[in-house]
Chains A and B, each alone.
Chain A
Amino acid sequence: MSGQVDEGLRSELQKQGIWVTSTQELYNWGRRNSIWPLQFGLACCAIEMIATAASRYDLARFGGEVFRPSPRQADLMIVAGTVTKKMAPQIVRLYNQMPDPKYVISMGACAISGGPFKQGYNVLKGIDRYIPVDVYIPGCPPRPEALLHAFMELQRKIDGQKLTGESKAPFLDANQPSEFPVPAFGAHDLEPPLNSDVFHPPTIKR
């Protein structure tokens, strides 16, 4: 696993019918083209997720059609729908059960921030309070094309992940957590209301 292959040399060799690659590229190429999502829908957005996987939009073109019902076999969690406070602990638990490397797409306004139901007393204001999210898709519900776009963004992200060095991917770093504490039901709210190791809302400067 050395540095990058020189682009000029590579294309020169390719013309001769020799394909040069690095382990990292090969590894990421394989991972990026067979992302298995967790078959897990929460609310309305899940229907659009099914529509994305169904005949017209065909997620299979991107290698993501193998929806696994078990978190143990899944690489990607698509949080599709409203996360209620009753459901949030289960989602964190499901995330913890997924093996590394794992990714999260937060699909729809609800999963990002509570969306139209933000004022509800039982609605979690964004799943990124408890688990790290890789791609956010706005929309209520996002169109299937938007989910496909998020999928491509995720592929791009996977492609850029390094296997060694300082900036290697977090799942290869033993010091990075891969499981997060499951919130418990408190007297009024979930305890803790957010995980400050994970939740980094942007600060708005005016």
Chain B
Amino acid sequence: MDIKDIIKPENRVYGKTPLLTDNVMHYCPGCSHGTVHKLIAEVIDEMGIQEQTIGVSPVGCSVFAYNYLDIDWQQAAHGRAPALATATKRLHPEKYVFTYQGDGDLASIGTAEIMHACNRGENIVVIFINNAIYGMTGGQMAPTTLIGMKTATTPYGRDPKLHGNPLKITELIAQLDGTCFVTRQSVHNPGNVRKAKKAIRKAFENSMMDKGTSFVEIVGTCNSGWKLSPVQSNEWMVENMFPKYPLGDIKDI
């Protein structure tokens, strides 16, 4: 069979969702942010809620998320996305409101905001991209950086005596009575991408059921910060990140 006979509109089984704009993403080649953006876009498209969704972008590499998903957006001061999302959802309870935050944004400068928003049980979705590093500013240590992991500010590896311990903030969030769904996912292979998408969809659905906050951590890669190729980064993540940050649902009520 000729390739030309296969490449026909009626045979198309997968392609870019129209909810993603045609802008070329500024992310490094292979960065997990792009894959997660796509999943959120597909969920919004499939749920038919483009007009009812408001995202809050963070400070970090994903600050420009608003250039890529064709929905309404706000952009928060560093770490304050949950506070902005709280106000937005309370003023517009009919809207689907989500934050998109990195580990520096959510687990460092924004620790107070995420803890209290989740403890209050705001009916929002939190998408938390844990790449164990400050990607945007050049690869400094984050609260989630692994013991022994080399970063710009831990050139000899993270030493718990000097730099403290990796913060499993998702497990802490699961302890809070305000959260209804807390899960940890990844997007490094097709099976995990599909699972992560299901989790994101469930989180969006929860946000209209008055159940409280849904929190989806995605363990991701920052290959530039980690100084590995994109494919090596995925392998390194499986070997080193997953033992500390195991995948799966932590809470689902």
- Asked if chains A and B come from one complex, the reply is no
Which residues of A approach B to under 8 Å, CB–CB? Answer: none
